[in-house]
Chain A
Amino acid sequence: MKLLVCISKAPDTTAKIAFTDGNTKFDENGVQFIVNPYDEWYALVRALELTEANGGTVTTITVGTNSDDPTIRKALAIGATDAVRIDAVPKDAYYVANQIASYAKIHGYDIVMTGKETINYNGAQVGAMIAEILDQPFVSLATKLDLQENTATLERDVSGGVEIVEVSTPFVLSAAKGMSEQRIPNMRGIMAARTKPLQVIEPVASEELTSVVSYSMPDSKAACKYVDAENAEELIHLLHTEAKVI
Protein backbone atom coordinates (compact mmCIF):
# COMPACT_ATOMS: atom_id res chain seq x y z
CA MET A 1 0.00 0.00 0.00
CA LYS A 2 1.35 3.41 -1.01
CA LEU A 3 -0.05 6.41 0.82
CA LEU A 4 0.70 10.07 0.15
CA VAL A 5 0.01 12.55 2.96
CA CYS A 6 -0.02 16.29 2.23
CA ILE A 7 1.71 18.23 5.00
CA SER A 8 1.56 21.98 5.45
CA LYS A 9 3.09 24.17 8.10
CA ALA A 10 0.84 26.47 10.11
CA PRO A 11 1.35 28.97 12.92
CA ASP A 12 0.96 27.48 16.39
CA THR A 13 -2.68 27.67 17.54
CA THR A 14 -1.78 30.23 20.21
CA ALA A 15 0.21 32.47 17.80
CA LYS A 16 -0.62 36.16 17.72
CA ILE A 17 -2.10 37.06 14.35
CA ALA A 18 -0.62 40.27 12.90
CA PHE A 19 0.36 41.55 9.46
CA THR A 20 3.25 43.59 8.01
CA ASP A 21 4.17 45.38 4.75
CA GLY A 22 0.99 47.45 4.65
CA ASN A 23 -1.15 44.50 5.78
CA THR A 24 -0.11 42.37 2.82
CA LYS A 25 1.97 39.75 4.65
CA PHE A 26 1.49 37.59 7.72
CA ASP A 27 3.89 38.73 10.42
CA GLU A 28 6.04 35.67 11.14
CA ASN A 29 8.06 37.49 13.77
CA GLY A 30 8.18 35.35 16.91
CA VAL A 31 5.69 32.84 15.47
CA GLN A 32 6.30 29.16 16.13
CA PHE A 33 5.34 26.97 13.17
CA ILE A 34 3.86 23.51 13.60
CA VAL A 35 2.61 20.80 11.27
CA ASN A 36 -0.98 21.80 10.44
CA PRO A 37 -2.92 19.84 13.12
CA TYR A 38 -5.44 18.31 10.70
CA ASP A 39 -2.60 17.04 8.48
CA GLU A 40 -0.67 15.65 11.42
CA TRP A 41 -3.13 14.37 14.03
CA TYR A 42 -5.62 12.90 11.61
CA ALA A 43 -4.26 12.29 8.08
CA LEU A 44 -0.66 11.33 8.92
CA VAL A 45 -1.35 9.28 12.04
CA ARG A 46 -4.17 7.28 10.39
CA ALA A 47 -1.92 6.63 7.37
CA LEU A 48 0.77 5.30 9.72
CA GLU A 49 -1.71 3.07 11.55
CA LEU A 50 -2.88 1.57 8.25
CA THR A 51 0.61 0.80 6.97
CA GLU A 52 1.66 -0.56 10.38
CA ALA A 53 -1.27 -2.99 10.19
CA ASN A 54 -1.10 -3.88 6.49
CA GLY A 55 2.41 -3.01 5.32
CA GLY A 56 3.29 -0.25 2.89
CA THR A 57 4.82 3.20 2.84
CA VAL A 58 3.74 6.68 3.90
CA THR A 59 5.29 9.52 1.91
CA THR A 60 4.66 13.11 2.94
CA ILE A 61 4.50 15.87 0.35
CA THR A 62 4.79 19.60 0.92
CA VAL A 63 4.83 22.60 -1.40
CA GLY A 64 7.18 25.07 0.26
CA THR A 65 10.63 26.47 0.76
CA ASN A 66 13.40 25.17 3.01
CA SER A 67 11.71 27.01 5.88
CA ASP A 68 9.25 24.09 5.83
CA ASP A 69 11.95 21.50 6.49
CA PRO A 70 11.65 21.52 10.31
CA THR A 71 7.93 20.66 10.13
CA ILE A 72 8.64 18.01 7.49
CA ARG A 73 11.26 16.45 9.83
CA LYS A 74 8.61 16.44 12.56
CA ALA A 75 6.31 14.39 10.29
CA LEU A 76 9.21 12.00 9.60
CA ALA A 77 9.87 11.74 13.35
CA ILE A 78 6.25 10.74 13.92
CA GLY A 79 6.85 7.87 11.51
CA ALA A 80 6.52 8.75 7.81
CA THR A 81 8.76 6.65 5.52
CA ASP A 82 10.10 9.50 3.43
CA ALA A 83 9.26 13.05 2.35
CA VAL A 84 9.05 15.11 -0.81
CA ARG A 85 9.22 18.88 -0.88
CA ILE A 86 8.29 20.74 -4.04
CA ASP A 87 10.55 23.74 -3.87
CA ALA A 88 8.20 26.68 -4.41
CA VAL A 89 6.32 29.35 -2.52
CA PRO A 90 2.72 28.08 -2.35
CA LYS A 91 0.80 30.73 -4.29
CA ASP A 92 -2.78 29.56 -3.89
CA ALA A 93 -4.73 26.34 -3.38
CA TYR A 94 -4.85 25.45 -7.07
CA TYR A 95 -1.11 25.96 -7.42
CA VAL A 96 -0.47 23.61 -4.50
CA ALA A 97 -3.01 21.04 -5.71
CA ASN A 98 -1.54 21.09 -9.21
CA GLN A 99 2.00 20.49 -7.88
CA ILE A 100 0.89 17.59 -5.67
CA ALA A 101 -1.37 16.05 -8.33
CA SER A 102 1.43 16.22 -10.92
CA TYR A 103 3.73 14.33 -8.58
CA ALA A 104 1.05 11.81 -7.55
CA LYS A 105 0.16 11.13 -11.20
CA ILE A 106 3.72 10.00 -11.95
CA HIS A 107 4.24 7.92 -8.80
CA GLY A 108 0.73 6.49 -8.24
CA TYR A 109 -0.75 6.23 -4.73
CA ASP A 110 -3.61 4.19 -3.29
CA ILE A 111 -4.82 7.10 -1.19
CA VAL A 112 -3.83 10.77 -1.18
CA MET A 113 -4.65 12.25 2.23
CA THR A 114 -4.93 15.86 3.37
CA GLY A 115 -6.16 17.51 6.56
CA LYS A 116 -9.65 19.00 6.23
CA GLU A 117 -8.17 22.50 6.08
CA THR A 118 -5.15 24.44 7.28
CA ILE A 119 -5.65 26.49 10.41
CA ASN A 120 -4.21 29.63 8.79
CA TYR A 121 -5.98 29.91 5.43
CA ASN A 122 -8.92 27.61 6.26
CA GLY A 123 -9.47 27.18 2.54
CA ALA A 124 -10.44 23.48 2.56
CA GLN A 125 -9.67 23.42 -1.17
CA VAL A 126 -6.51 21.47 -1.93
CA GLY A 127 -7.86 17.91 -1.46
CA ALA A 128 -10.87 18.31 -3.72
CA MET A 129 -8.74 20.02 -6.38
CA ILE A 130 -6.18 17.17 -6.34
CA ALA A 131 -9.06 14.69 -6.77
CA GLU A 132 -10.44 16.59 -9.76
CA ILE A 133 -7.04 16.86 -11.45
CA LEU A 134 -6.43 13.12 -10.88
CA ASP A 135 -10.05 12.30 -11.83
CA GLN A 136 -10.53 10.33 -8.60
CA PRO A 137 -13.32 10.31 -5.99
CA PHE A 138 -12.91 12.68 -3.04
CA VAL A 139 -14.15 11.84 0.45
CA SER A 140 -14.22 15.09 2.38
CA LEU A 141 -14.26 15.47 6.17
CA ALA A 142 -13.52 11.80 6.78
CA THR A 143 -13.65 10.85 10.46
CA LYS A 144 -13.03 7.08 10.10
CA LEU A 145 -11.18 5.00 7.53
CA ASP A 146 -10.86 1.22 7.26
CA LEU A 147 -9.43 -0.78 4.39
CA GLN A 148 -10.20 -4.29 3.08
CA GLU A 149 -7.99 -5.02 0.08
CA ASN A 150 -8.89 -2.26 -2.40
CA THR A 151 -12.16 -1.25 -0.77
CA ALA A 152 -12.24 1.52 1.80
CA THR A 153 -15.10 2.16 4.21
CA LEU A 154 -15.22 5.68 5.58
CA GLU A 155 -17.37 7.77 7.84
CA ARG A 156 -17.65 11.42 6.85
CA ASP A 157 -19.29 14.51 8.31
CA VAL A 158 -22.21 15.90 6.33
CA SER A 159 -24.43 18.78 7.40
CA GLY A 160 -26.57 17.54 10.25
CA GLY A 161 -24.96 14.14 10.69
CA VAL A 162 -22.62 11.52 9.28
CA GLU A 163 -22.56 9.20 6.28
CA ILE A 164 -20.88 5.82 5.90
CA VAL A 165 -19.48 5.53 2.38
CA GLU A 166 -17.57 2.95 0.37
CA VAL A 167 -15.00 3.70 -2.30
CA SER A 168 -12.31 1.77 -4.18
CA THR A 169 -8.70 2.89 -4.30
CA PRO A 170 -7.27 5.07 -5.69
CA PHE A 171 -9.02 8.03 -4.10
CA VAL A 172 -8.38 11.28 -2.23
CA LEU A 173 -9.62 12.19 1.26
CA SER A 174 -9.55 15.06 3.71
CA ALA A 175 -9.28 14.04 7.36
CA ALA A 176 -11.23 15.54 10.26
CA LYS A 177 -11.36 14.95 13.99
CA GLY A 178 -12.02 11.34 14.93
CA MET A 179 -9.67 9.65 12.42
CA SER A 180 -6.95 9.02 15.01
CA GLU A 181 -5.26 10.43 18.07
CA GLN A 182 -2.27 12.76 18.13
CA ARG A 183 1.11 10.96 18.39
CA ILE A 184 4.09 12.44 20.17
CA PRO A 185 7.36 11.49 18.42
CA ASN A 186 9.77 9.56 20.62
CA MET A 187 13.55 10.01 20.77
CA ARG A 188 14.21 7.10 18.40
CA GLY A 189 11.78 8.62 15.87
CA ILE A 190 13.44 12.03 16.15
CA MET A 191 16.91 10.50 15.61
CA ALA A 192 15.71 8.38 12.68
CA ALA A 193 14.04 11.40 11.05
CA ARG A 194 17.44 13.08 10.60
CA THR A 195 18.54 10.50 8.07
CA LYS A 196 15.24 9.70 6.37
CA PRO A 197 15.10 10.81 2.72
CA LEU A 198 13.71 14.30 2.07
CA GLN A 199 13.68 14.74 -1.66
CA VAL A 200 13.52 18.30 -3.01
CA ILE A 201 12.09 18.66 -6.50
CA GLU A 202 11.36 21.52 -8.88
CA PRO A 203 7.76 22.74 -9.36
CA VAL A 204 5.80 22.33 -12.59
CA ALA A 205 4.59 25.48 -14.35
CA SER A 206 1.21 26.57 -12.96
CA GLU A 207 -0.80 29.75 -13.02
CA GLU A 208 -1.82 31.83 -10.03
CA LEU A 209 -5.62 31.88 -10.18
CA THR A 210 -6.15 33.89 -7.00
CA SER A 211 -3.96 36.20 -4.94
CA VAL A 212 -4.28 37.83 -1.54
CA VAL A 213 -4.43 41.62 -1.97
CA SER A 214 -4.42 42.47 1.74
CA TYR A 215 -5.43 41.34 5.21
CA SER A 216 -7.56 43.06 7.79
CA MET A 217 -8.59 42.45 11.38
CA PRO A 218 -12.16 42.27 12.71
CA ASP A 219 -13.48 45.39 14.46
CA SER A 220 -12.60 45.23 18.10
CA LYS A 221 -15.54 44.42 20.30
CA ALA A 222 -17.09 46.95 22.65
CA ALA A 223 -16.45 46.16 26.31
CA CYS A 224 -18.48 43.35 27.83
CA LYS A 225 -21.67 44.52 29.52
CA TYR A 226 -22.13 42.74 32.84
CA VAL A 227 -25.49 41.64 34.15
CA ASP A 228 -26.05 40.65 37.76
CA ALA A 229 -26.27 36.88 38.29
CA GLU A 230 -29.59 37.35 40.12
CA ASN A 231 -31.11 39.29 37.25
CA ALA A 232 -31.69 36.82 34.40
CA GLU A 233 -34.66 38.87 33.11
CA GLU A 234 -32.37 41.82 32.49
CA LEU A 235 -30.17 39.72 30.17
CA ILE A 236 -33.17 38.40 28.23
CA HIS A 237 -34.44 41.97 27.92
CA LEU A 238 -31.07 43.13 26.51
CA LEU A 239 -30.88 40.20 24.07
CA HIS A 240 -34.35 41.11 22.83
CA THR A 241 -34.25 44.90 22.68
CA GLU A 242 -30.55 45.74 22.28
CA ALA A 243 -28.86 42.78 20.55
CA LYS A 244 -32.14 41.82 18.83
CA VAL A 245 -31.17 38.16 18.61
CA ILE A 246 -34.22 36.65 20.33
Chain B
Amino acid sequence: MSVLVFVESKNGKAVKAGLEAISYGKRIGDTTVITFGSASTEDLAAMGKYGAAKVLVCRSINEVNDQQLTKLIAAAVDDTNAETIVLAQDPTGKAIGPRVAARLGAGHVSSAVDIPDTSNNGFVVKTNVFSGKAFAHVAVNTAKKVIAYTPNSLPVNSEESTAEVMEFSPDVNTGGITVKERKLQEGSVAPLPEAELVVSAGRGLKGPENWGIVEDLANSLGATTACSRPVADIGWRPHHEHVGQTGIAIRPNLYIAAGISGAIQHLAGVNGSKTIVVINTDPEAPFFKAADYGIIGDAFEVLPKLTEAIKKFKASNN
Protein backbone atom coordinates (compact mmCIF):
# COMPACT_ATOMS: atom_id res chain seq x y z
CA MET B 1 0.00 0.00 0.00
CA SER B 2 1.30 3.44 -0.88
CA VAL B 3 1.47 5.86 2.05
CA LEU B 4 2.08 9.62 2.13
CA VAL B 5 3.20 11.13 5.45
CA PHE B 6 3.02 14.85 6.13
CA VAL B 7 5.89 16.09 8.30
CA GLU B 8 5.88 19.59 9.75
CA SER B 9 9.08 21.53 9.73
CA LYS B 10 9.85 24.20 12.32
CA ASN B 11 12.91 26.46 12.15
CA GLY B 12 14.38 24.19 9.48
CA LYS B 13 13.89 21.00 11.50
CA ALA B 14 11.29 18.25 11.25
CA VAL B 15 9.13 18.06 14.37
CA LYS B 16 9.43 14.92 16.50
CA ALA B 17 5.73 14.01 16.12
CA GLY B 18 6.25 14.10 12.34
CA LEU B 19 9.15 11.65 12.52
CA GLU B 20 6.96 9.34 14.60
CA ALA B 21 4.29 9.62 11.92
CA ILE B 22 6.84 8.38 9.34
CA SER B 23 7.46 5.33 11.53
CA TYR B 24 3.73 4.73 11.68
CA GLY B 25 3.40 5.10 7.90
CA LYS B 26 6.21 2.61 7.36
CA ARG B 27 4.25 0.03 9.34
CA ILE B 28 1.42 0.39 6.80
CA GLY B 29 3.30 0.46 3.51
CA ASP B 30 5.81 2.16 1.19
CA THR B 31 6.24 5.61 2.59
CA THR B 32 6.83 8.95 0.90
CA VAL B 33 7.15 12.09 3.01
CA ILE B 34 5.72 15.48 2.02
CA THR B 35 7.29 18.37 3.91
CA PHE B 36 8.16 22.05 3.52
CA GLY B 37 10.63 24.65 4.72
CA SER B 38 14.36 25.07 4.80
CA ALA B 39 15.67 21.81 6.28
CA SER B 40 18.96 20.70 4.71
CA THR B 41 18.88 17.92 2.13
CA GLU B 42 21.02 15.80 4.52
CA ASP B 43 18.46 16.20 7.29
CA LEU B 44 15.64 15.28 4.92
CA ALA B 45 17.51 12.23 3.62
CA ALA B 46 17.95 11.15 7.24
CA MET B 47 14.18 10.60 7.42
CA GLY B 48 15.06 7.26 5.83
CA LYS B 49 16.03 6.10 9.29
CA TYR B 50 12.37 6.36 10.32
CA GLY B 51 11.16 4.53 7.22
CA ALA B 52 10.76 7.11 4.44
CA ALA B 53 11.80 5.89 0.98
CA LYS B 54 11.30 9.28 -0.66
CA VAL B 55 10.96 12.86 0.62
CA LEU B 56 9.16 15.56 -1.34
CA VAL B 57 10.00 19.05 -0.10
CA CYS B 58 8.30 22.31 -1.02
CA ARG B 59 10.84 25.11 -0.46
CA SER B 60 8.47 27.99 -1.15
CA ILE B 61 6.38 27.38 2.01
CA ASN B 62 7.96 28.32 5.34
CA GLU B 63 5.14 28.39 7.83
CA VAL B 64 1.96 26.55 8.69
CA ASN B 65 -0.84 27.83 6.52
CA ASP B 66 -3.77 25.44 6.47
CA GLN B 67 -4.99 26.30 2.96
CA GLN B 68 -1.55 26.14 1.32
CA LEU B 69 -0.52 22.94 3.08
CA THR B 70 -3.82 21.27 2.19
CA LYS B 71 -3.19 22.02 -1.49
CA LEU B 72 0.41 20.84 -1.15
CA ILE B 73 -0.62 17.52 0.38
CA ALA B 74 -3.42 17.00 -2.17
CA ALA B 75 -0.91 17.61 -5.01
CA ALA B 76 1.49 15.09 -3.43
CA VAL B 77 -1.34 12.55 -3.19
CA ASP B 78 -1.90 12.96 -6.94
CA ASP B 79 1.82 12.69 -7.61
CA THR B 80 2.39 9.54 -5.54
CA ASN B 81 -1.02 7.88 -5.93
CA ALA B 82 -1.02 7.39 -2.18
CA GLU B 83 -4.03 5.57 -0.77
CA THR B 84 -3.32 6.39 2.86
CA ILE B 85 -2.28 9.80 4.14
CA VAL B 86 -0.76 10.02 7.63
CA LEU B 87 -0.26 13.10 9.82
CA ALA B 88 0.66 13.54 13.48
CA GLN B 89 -2.23 14.27 15.84
CA ASP B 90 -0.79 17.59 17.01
CA PRO B 91 -1.96 21.21 16.58
CA THR B 92 -0.86 21.32 12.94
CA GLY B 93 -2.25 17.88 12.15
CA LYS B 94 -5.60 18.88 13.65
CA ALA B 95 -5.74 22.00 11.46
CA ILE B 96 -4.83 20.25 8.24
CA GLY B 97 -5.80 16.55 8.37
CA PRO B 98 -9.57 17.09 8.24
CA ARG B 99 -9.17 19.71 5.48
CA VAL B 100 -7.17 17.28 3.37
CA ALA B 101 -9.77 14.56 3.97
CA ALA B 102 -12.66 16.84 2.98
CA ARG B 103 -10.78 17.94 -0.13
CA LEU B 104 -10.08 14.35 -1.22
CA GLY B 105 -13.49 12.99 -0.17
CA ALA B 106 -11.52 10.62 2.07
CA GLY B 107 -12.64 9.19 5.39
CA HIS B 108 -10.63 10.63 8.27
CA VAL B 109 -9.65 8.94 11.51
CA SER B 110 -8.04 11.03 14.24
CA SER B 111 -6.24 9.98 17.45
CA ALA B 112 -5.12 6.65 15.94
CA VAL B 113 -3.18 4.53 18.44
CA ASP B 114 -2.50 1.44 16.32
CA ILE B 115 -2.01 0.49 12.67
CA PRO B 116 -5.12 -0.28 10.60
CA ASP B 117 -6.59 -3.77 10.85
CA THR B 118 -6.97 -4.81 7.20
CA SER B 119 -8.27 -8.33 7.80
CA ASN B 120 -11.38 -9.37 5.80
CA ASN B 121 -10.67 -6.61 3.27
CA GLY B 122 -11.53 -4.03 5.90
CA PHE B 123 -9.68 -0.98 7.13
CA VAL B 124 -10.38 -0.46 10.82
CA VAL B 125 -8.34 1.88 13.01
CA LYS B 126 -8.22 1.86 16.80
CA THR B 127 -8.56 5.39 18.15
CA ASN B 128 -8.73 7.18 21.49
CA VAL B 129 -12.20 8.45 22.43
CA PHE B 130 -13.92 9.75 25.57
CA SER B 131 -10.73 11.59 26.50
CA GLY B 132 -8.74 8.37 26.65
CA LYS B 133 -11.32 6.52 28.75
CA ALA B 134 -12.18 4.18 25.83
CA PHE B 135 -11.21 3.18 22.30
CA ALA B 136 -13.35 3.27 19.17
CA HIS B 137 -12.61 0.92 16.29
CA VAL B 138 -13.41 3.02 13.23
CA ALA B 139 -13.92 1.59 9.74
CA VAL B 140 -12.94 3.82 6.82
CA ASN B 141 -15.28 3.23 3.88
CA THR B 142 -13.47 5.25 1.19
CA ALA B 143 -10.66 4.34 -1.22
CA LYS B 144 -8.45 7.10 0.18
CA LYS B 145 -7.89 7.37 3.92
CA VAL B 146 -6.49 10.09 6.15
CA ILE B 147 -5.13 9.04 9.55
CA ALA B 148 -3.91 11.31 12.34
CA TYR B 149 -1.54 9.29 14.50
CA THR B 150 -1.28 9.91 18.26
CA PRO B 151 2.44 10.31 19.05
CA ASN B 152 4.09 7.90 21.49
CA SER B 153 1.55 5.11 20.84
CA LEU B 154 3.92 2.70 19.04
CA PRO B 155 7.72 2.14 19.08
CA VAL B 156 9.71 4.28 16.64
CA ASN B 157 11.27 2.66 13.58
CA SER B 158 15.04 2.76 13.16
CA GLU B 159 16.91 1.42 10.15
CA GLU B 160 20.16 2.08 8.29
CA SER B 161 18.66 3.87 5.33
CA THR B 162 18.55 7.25 3.65
CA ALA B 163 15.62 8.66 1.70
CA GLU B 164 15.71 10.06 -1.83
CA VAL B 165 15.00 13.82 -1.62
CA MET B 166 13.13 15.66 -4.39
CA GLU B 167 11.99 19.26 -4.70
CA PHE B 168 8.22 19.49 -5.14
CA SER B 169 6.64 22.81 -6.10
CA PRO B 170 2.98 22.59 -7.06
CA ASP B 171 0.84 25.72 -7.27
CA VAL B 172 -0.41 26.27 -3.72
CA ASN B 173 -1.61 29.85 -4.17
CA THR B 174 -1.84 31.93 -0.98
CA GLY B 175 -3.80 31.30 2.20
CA GLY B 176 -5.98 33.70 4.15
CA ILE B 177 -4.05 33.57 7.44
CA THR B 178 -1.02 35.76 8.14
CA VAL B 179 1.23 34.87 11.06
CA LYS B 180 2.16 38.12 12.85
CA GLU B 181 4.16 36.77 15.72
CA ARG B 182 5.33 33.44 17.08
CA LYS B 183 6.07 32.90 20.75
CA LEU B 184 7.70 29.54 21.31
CA GLN B 185 8.67 28.29 24.73
CA GLU B 186 12.30 28.82 25.58
CA GLY B 187 14.56 26.12 26.81
CA SER B 188 15.63 22.69 25.77
CA VAL B 189 12.85 20.57 27.26
CA ALA B 190 10.20 19.14 24.94
CA PRO B 191 6.83 20.91 24.77
CA LEU B 192 4.16 19.08 26.81
CA PRO B 193 2.39 17.18 24.02
CA GLU B 194 5.73 15.71 22.90
CA ALA B 195 7.33 15.25 26.30
CA GLU B 196 8.35 11.71 27.31
CA LEU B 197 8.83 12.66 30.95
CA VAL B 198 6.43 14.96 32.79
CA VAL B 199 6.40 16.23 36.38
CA SER B 200 3.05 17.70 37.38
CA ALA B 201 1.69 19.28 40.53
CA GLY B 202 -1.60 20.53 41.91
CA ARG B 203 -3.20 22.42 44.75
CA GLY B 204 -1.28 20.31 47.25
CA LEU B 205 1.70 22.58 46.56
CA LYS B 206 -0.21 25.37 48.37
CA GLY B 207 1.07 28.29 46.26
CA PRO B 208 2.99 29.28 43.13
CA GLU B 209 6.05 30.24 45.20
CA ASN B 210 6.53 26.55 46.05
CA TRP B 211 6.99 25.37 42.46
CA GLY B 212 10.78 25.39 42.81
CA ILE B 213 10.78 21.81 44.11
CA VAL B 214 8.66 20.70 41.13
CA GLU B 215 10.99 22.41 38.68
CA ASP B 216 14.06 20.98 40.43
CA LEU B 217 12.76 17.45 39.98
CA ALA B 218 11.80 18.17 36.35
CA ASN B 219 15.24 19.63 35.65
CA SER B 220 17.04 16.68 37.19
CA LEU B 221 15.02 14.32 34.97
CA GLY B 222 15.01 16.49 31.85
CA ALA B 223 11.21 16.47 32.18
CA THR B 224 8.56 19.02 31.23
CA THR B 225 6.36 20.55 33.95
CA ALA B 226 2.55 20.38 33.96
CA CYS B 227 -0.26 21.19 36.38
CA SER B 228 -3.88 20.44 37.27
CA ARG B 229 -6.82 22.60 36.23
CA PRO B 230 -7.43 24.49 39.52
CA VAL B 231 -3.80 25.55 39.58
CA ALA B 232 -4.02 27.00 36.05
CA ASP B 233 -7.42 28.57 36.75
CA ILE B 234 -6.20 30.50 39.79
CA GLY B 235 -3.17 31.63 37.85
CA TRP B 236 -0.43 29.80 39.78
CA ARG B 237 0.77 28.29 36.51
CA PRO B 238 0.24 29.18 32.81
CA HIS B 239 -2.76 27.67 30.98
CA HIS B 240 -0.58 25.78 28.53
CA GLU B 241 0.63 23.60 31.43
CA HIS B 242 -2.90 22.43 32.25
CA VAL B 243 -3.35 18.74 31.49
CA GLY B 244 -6.74 17.05 31.75
CA GLN B 245 -10.03 16.75 29.98
CA THR B 246 -10.40 20.47 29.23
CA GLY B 247 -6.67 21.17 28.98
CA ILE B 248 -4.41 19.03 26.88
CA ALA B 249 -4.24 15.27 26.84
CA ILE B 250 -0.76 13.79 27.09
CA ARG B 251 0.69 10.27 26.98
CA PRO B 252 4.29 10.46 28.16
CA ASN B 253 6.37 7.47 29.22
CA LEU B 254 6.47 8.78 32.78
CA TYR B 255 3.97 11.05 34.53
CA ILE B 256 4.78 12.07 38.09
CA ALA B 257 1.89 13.80 39.90
CA ALA B 258 2.42 15.52 43.23
CA GLY B 259 -0.41 17.01 45.28
CA ILE B 260 -3.08 16.16 42.68
CA SER B 261 -6.04 14.16 43.98
CA GLY B 262 -6.88 12.67 40.58
CA ALA B 263 -10.36 13.86 39.67
CA ILE B 264 -11.86 11.94 36.74
CA GLN B 265 -11.35 14.97 34.47
CA HIS B 266 -7.64 15.09 35.30
CA LEU B 267 -7.23 11.34 34.75
CA ALA B 268 -8.85 11.69 31.33
CA GLY B 269 -5.91 13.81 30.19
CA VAL B 270 -3.13 11.57 31.51
CA ASN B 271 -4.35 7.98 31.57
CA GLY B 272 -2.56 7.24 28.31
CA SER B 273 0.76 7.67 30.17
CA LYS B 274 2.84 4.49 30.21
CA THR B 275 3.85 4.83 33.87
CA ILE B 276 2.13 6.99 36.48
CA VAL B 277 3.70 7.90 39.83
CA VAL B 278 1.43 9.54 42.41
CA ILE B 279 2.63 11.40 45.48
CA ASN B 280 -0.09 12.45 47.90
CA THR B 281 -0.55 12.88 51.64
CA ASP B 282 -4.05 11.39 51.42
CA PRO B 283 -3.97 7.59 51.09
CA GLU B 284 -7.58 7.76 49.85
CA ALA B 285 -6.74 10.07 46.90
CA PRO B 286 -8.47 8.53 43.84
CA PHE B 287 -5.32 9.03 41.76
CA PHE B 288 -3.65 6.05 43.51
CA LYS B 289 -6.16 3.74 41.74
CA ALA B 290 -4.77 4.87 38.38
CA ALA B 291 -1.13 4.86 39.52
CA ASP B 292 1.60 2.31 38.84
CA TYR B 293 3.66 3.54 41.78
CA GLY B 294 2.52 5.52 44.77
CA ILE B 295 4.16 7.36 47.63
CA ILE B 296 1.94 8.36 50.54
CA GLY B 297 3.71 11.43 51.79
CA ASP B 298 4.14 15.16 51.72
CA ALA B 299 5.28 16.54 48.35
CA PHE B 300 7.41 19.10 50.21
CA GLU B 301 9.49 16.27 51.66
CA VAL B 302 9.23 13.67 48.89
CA LEU B 303 10.04 15.83 45.82
CA PRO B 304 13.46 17.05 47.07
CA LYS B 305 14.36 13.47 48.04
CA LEU B 306 13.41 12.24 44.56
CA THR B 307 15.50 15.02 43.00
CA GLU B 308 18.51 13.93 45.08
CA ALA B 309 17.94 10.29 44.19
CA ILE B 310 17.70 11.12 40.47
CA LYS B 311 20.92 13.13 40.62
CA LYS B 312 22.67 10.23 42.34
CA PHE B 313 21.23 7.79 39.80
CA LYS B 314 22.35 9.94 36.85
CA ALA B 315 25.83 10.40 38.33
CA SER B 316 26.29 6.65 38.80
CA ASN B 317 25.04 5.92 35.26
CA ASN B 318 27.44 8.28 33.53
Contacts and interface: CB of A to CB of B under 8 A. Distances in A.
A177 B134 contact: no
B interface, how many residues as a size bin?
A: 35 or more
Contacts, number: 269
Interface in B140-194: 140-142, 175-185, 191, 193-194
A29 to B, nearest CB: 15
A140 B96 CA distance: 9
Residue of A11, A139, A177 ringed by the most chain B CB atoms within 10 A: A177
A209 B108 contact: yes
B293 A239 contact: yes
B106 A224 contact: no
A166 B105 CA distance: 29
A128 B296 CA distance: 45
Interface string A192-220: 00000000000000011111111111100
A207 to B, nearest CB: 8
A236 B306 contact: yes
A165 B67 CA distance: 14
Contact of B135 (A166, A218, A245): A218
B91 A159 contact: yes
B110 A232 contact: no
Chief secondary structure at chain A's binding surface: mixed
A166 B191 CA distance: 24
Interface in A63-115: 92-94, 97
A178 interface: yes
B128 interface: yes
Contacts of B306: 232, 235-236
Contact of A212 (B15, B137, B194, B290): B137
A184 interface: no
A153 interface: yes
Interface in B259-318: 264-265, 268, 271, 274-275, 277-278, 288-298, 301-302, 305-306, 308-310, 312-313
Contacts of A121: 129, 136
A243 B275 contact: yes
Interface residues of A, number: 83
A133 B102 contact: yes
A128 B221 contact: no
Contact of A243 (B136, B184, B274): B274
A219 B98 CA distance: 30
22 contacts: A13-B246, A41-B246, A129-B98, A129-B99, A133-B102, A136-B176, A137-B177, A159-B191, A161-B183, A161-B185, A163-B179, A171-B176, A171-B177, A174-B94, A209-B140, A213-B124, A218-B134, A226-B294, A227-B294, A232-B306, A238-B293, A245-B196
